[in-house]
Amino acid sequence: VYPRFGRTMEWDTAAGQAVLMAAGGRVDTTAGEPLLYGKEGLENPHFIACGAANP
């Protein structure tokens, strides 16, 4: 589990999120929504990255 509450931009998280999701993990905002891309301003909301529950 990796909570991130500091400022990040889309380019900071895209590759890591792709690798994590390919391995069965997920990245959600603190509101419980998936972390999405193509936002105006390109700044990410706070998020939590989690590995697969049963790797």
**Distances from the Cα of 1 to the Cαs of 39, 40, 48, in angstroms?**
24, 27, 7
The structure's pTM equals 0.89
d(CA 38, CA 50): 22
Identify the H or E element spanning 19. Answer: helix 10-22
Query: What residue ranges define each of the domains in the chain, with the CATH number in brackets?
Result: 2-50 (3.40.190.80)
Q: What pLDDT, in 10s, does the model give residues 14-50?
A: 999 999 999 999 999 999 999 999 999 999 999 999 9
- Confidence band for 3, pLDDT divided at 50, 70 and 90: very high
Is residue 55 over pLDDT 70? no
Q: How many CB atoms lie within 10 A of CB 16?
A: 13
